[in-house]
Amino acid sequence: MYQFKAQIYKTGINWCVDVPVAITARMTPEKGYIHIHGVINGFDFTKTLVPVKNAPYRLFVNAIMMKGGKTALGQVASFEIKQVKKKQEAVPNMHPDLEAALSREGLSAAFGALTAARRRDAIKYLYKVKTDETRTANINTIIAQLRNGEKNVRIPMTGYPLTKK
């Protein structure tokens, strides 16, 4: 747990504080951001430190934190922060119809090569489809796109790309 004091200031319409570089230098960013659990004047919160070009990481302070920490704009608040791992949403269990089609067509590896987010979106969508006919049509579309090696494969009804460009 790292401790520091900082004055709450306003940038644009947001309240924030700058986190000392000596603290953030000991943390490991994930895609540039640092996920933290913290305490402001005794009030618990979970937030993300945001990188700022040529400046220290910024911690945005919202109204709930201000009220809970009994502080206000312009005041100096006491902070304690520690880095936490961001909880990633798990990929749901493979839809059995999609799994069978991928296996039958030899495209399991191609589907597995998609990002976790793309696989999750496709599988979640297939579980939400109400009719077997619609599910089969969408699975056939996914299979055709994977078979053709398209660079911008899309989930039929959602429009989300399944692969990176």
**Domain limits, the chain:** 2-83, 88-165
Tens of pLDDT along 2-53?
999 999 999 999 999 999 999 999 999 988 999 999 999 999 999 999 999 9
The overall average pLDDT reported for the chain is 88
Instruction: Please answer whether residues 7 and 17 qualify as being in contact, where contact means their C-beta atoms are separated by less than 8 angstroms.
Output: yes
- Give the CA angle between residues 10, 54, 51 to the nearest 5°: 65
Fold type of domain 2-83: Elongation Factor Tu (Ef-tu); domain 3 (2.40.30)
DSSP 33: B
